Amino acid sequence: MPAPRDRLAPETRLRIVIGSGAAAFGVPWGRQAKVQGGARPTPRRVNVDGAAAVEPAQGTGIGEVEEAVRSAVQAGGGRLPYADFLRLCLYHPARGYYAGFGPGTEEGARSPASDYFTSADLHPAFGHLLAREAALHLERLLREGHERVWVVEVGGGRGLLARDVLQALSLEFPKVFERLRYLLVEPHAGWARVQRANLLPEFSGAVSWVRAAGPGLPLRAVRGVILSNELFDAQPFHVLEGHGAGVREVFITVGEGGGLAETPGPPSRADLARRLEAEGVRLAEAQRGEVSLDAGALALDMARALLKGAVLAADYGDEAQALYDARRRPEGTMRCFFRHRLNTEPLARLGAQDITAHVDFTALARAFEEGGLAVRPVERQADFLRRHGLGEILGKLEREQTRLEREVYVRHRRALEALQDPRGLGANLILTAVK
C-alpha cells in the first residue's frame, strides 16, 4: 500500500478524545509539515519480497570507506568479519552511512529520508499510541513518589518520534508531561542538528541531548522509559552458514580480481555458535543466518541503565525459531536499501546504502532478563497499536471524512492502514521489559 509522501502538519489538528475526561489525543491532519531531514518517501521494508531491485552498482573508484575496509582486511590477515565490515560501512566517523546524514555534511543534499523509512516517519499516530504505553509506566513512577521521570530515546533519527511522544503526553497526560524530561542519546552531530530543528523551540525545557561516544550507554539510574524504534536492526552482525554438524563464518576478503569478495572460514568467536546453541537453533547445510552480538550488548546496557520503569523496543525481526527457519529464510535476512529500493549487494556502494538484518528478539529478551528486567511476551505492531487505540483513530477519521479534503483523507487512511499491514510494518515486533 503506498504511503503518503509528506508528513502532515501539526498546526492543523483534529482533536480526538481517547479515554475519559477532558484528555484529548491530537493527531495532525492537513498541510505538509516543516520537517527537517526530508519529506516522507515511499516506505522501506514494506512487503520486501515485492520490492524492486536497484541497478547494479557501477564502479566509481575507491572511496574512503572502501579504503578503510581494505586496510582492515589486510590487518586481519586477509579476512574481515561482517560485523567489523558493517562498523566501517555504517559508522565510519566521516563517511559511514549513519554518520553522513544531517546539515553540514559534504553531501548537503542527502537526507535521512532518502533511503529508508520507519513507522515514526509514516504517521504521528505511531508515536502517539506508543506514548500511551509509556505513560502507564511513567504514571506508576509518579504514584510511587518520584519527582521527575524520564523518557530516554536511543538513536532518535530525525526526532519525529520524540515530537509525537511529547505532543501526545502534553495533550493526554499533562500531569506526566509537567514532570517529564525527554533525553535523546545521539552519537552523530548531524542527526542531533536535525532533531533540534524538529523539536525546538516547541519543546524547549522538556528535551535535551547527550552524545554517546563508542559502545555502551552513558546513562545510569534512569527512572522512566527507555525507548527505541528500529535501533537494533542497525547494529553490526556476523554472518554464519551451516556446515556439517556446526557453522562457519562468512568473511570479507579481497578476491583474485582485486575486488571485495566473501569467503567462509572458522568462526572468529566461539560465542557465535554458542548463541545459536543456547536458542536451540541449528543451521541447515549452507543455510545463512545473522548473529548480532552488538544488539545483545546494547540491550544489556539499556537494562543496566534502568533503575526503575520500562524499556520499549520496536523493530522488525522475529523470535529465534522462526528467524532461523531454513524453509523460510535459507539465505538469511541481510538486505540493503538504496533510494528506497531493495538490493542484495552489501559489497557495493560502501557507506552510501543501508545494510540491515532482522532482529533476534529471543536474544534481546535474554539480554534484558540478564539485566534484571521482566520481559513481557512480544507483540506484533498491529496488535500493539490496536490495543492502544488505533481503531478509535480510524473510526474518528471516518466520521470526519466529510470535513476533510479527499486527498487528506486518503493519505491518512493509507498511512494508518500501513501501520497495521500484516505484510509490512504491522508485522514488526514491540518488546516491553519492566523493572
CA distance 185 to 302: 12
Helix/strand/coil for 403: helix
User: How far is residue 162 from each of residues 1, 204, 209, measured CA to CA in Å?
Assistant: 26, 13, 12
**Residues forming beta bridges with residue 192, ordered by sequence position:** none
Closest CA to 117 of 47, 193, 32, 15: 47
Per-residue pLDDT at 111: 52
Residue 141 maps to a domain? yes
Helix/strand/coil for 55: coil
**Which secondary-structure segment (H or E) carries 25?**
strand 24-28
Which position has the grid cell 516522507? 40
Q: Residue 148's domain spans which residues?
A: 44-389+422-434
The number of angstroms, rounded, from the C-alpha of 106 to the middle of its chain's C-alpha atoms is 25
Helix/strand/coil for 329: coil
Residue 402 maps to a domain? no
In 51-203, where do the E strands start and end?
80-81, 149-154, 180-185
The alpha carbons of the chain give a radius of gyration, in whole angstroms, of 22
Per-residue pLDDT at 222: 96
Q: Burial-class residue 435 by CB neighbours within 10 Å (0-12, 13-18, 19+).
A: middle
Residue 414 maps to a domain? no
Closest CA to 302 of 291, 315, 311: 311
Q: Burial-class residue 353 by CB neighbours within 10 Å (0-12, 13-18, 19+).
A: buried
**Residues forming beta bridges with residue 209, ordered by sequence position:** 184
Which position has the grid cell 549487494? 345
Per-residue pLDDT at 113: 55
- Those residues with Cβ within 8 angstroms of residue 49's Cβ, 6 or more apart along the chain or in another chain: none
- 94, 131 contact by CB (below 8 A): no
**Do strands 238-243 and 180-185 pair parallel, antiparallel, or not at all (unpaired)?**
unpaired
Residue 69 maps to a domain? yes
Residue 125 maps to a domain? yes
Instruction: Name the phi and psi angles at 99, rounded to 5.
Output: -75, -20
Per-residue pLDDT at 301: 95
Per-residue pLDDT at 71: 96
Residue 83: give its domain's CATH number: 3.40.50.12710
How would you label 219-257 residue by residue, b for 16+ Cβ within 10 Å and e otherwise? beebbbbbbbbbbbbbbbbbbbbbeeeebbbbbbbbeee
Give me the helices (H) in 147-239, please.
Answer: 160-172, 174-178, 189-199
CA distance 36 to 336: 24
Residue 385 maps to a domain? yes
- Those residues with Cβ within 8 angstroms of residue 270's Cβ, 6 or more apart along the chain or in another chain: none
pLDDT digit of tens for each residue in the chain (435 aa)? 333 333 433 323 334 333 322 233 344 443 334 455 554 433 333 222 233 333 444 444 458 999 999 999 999 999 999 999 999 999 998 888 887 665 444 444 345 456 667 999 999 999 999 999 999 999 999 999 999 999 999 999 889 999 999 999 999 999 999 999 999 999 888 889 889 999 999 999 999 999 876 667 888 899 999 999 999 999 999 999 999 989 999 999 999 999 999 999 999 999 999 999 999 999 999 999 999 999 999 999 999 999 999 999 999 999 999 999 999 999 999 999 988 788 999 999 999 899 999 999 999 999 999 999 999 999 999 999 999 999 999 999 999 998 989 999 999 999 999 999 999 999 999 999 999
Per-residue pLDDT at 223: 97
Residue 308 maps to a domain? yes
Residue 219 maps to a domain? yes
Domain count, the chain: 1
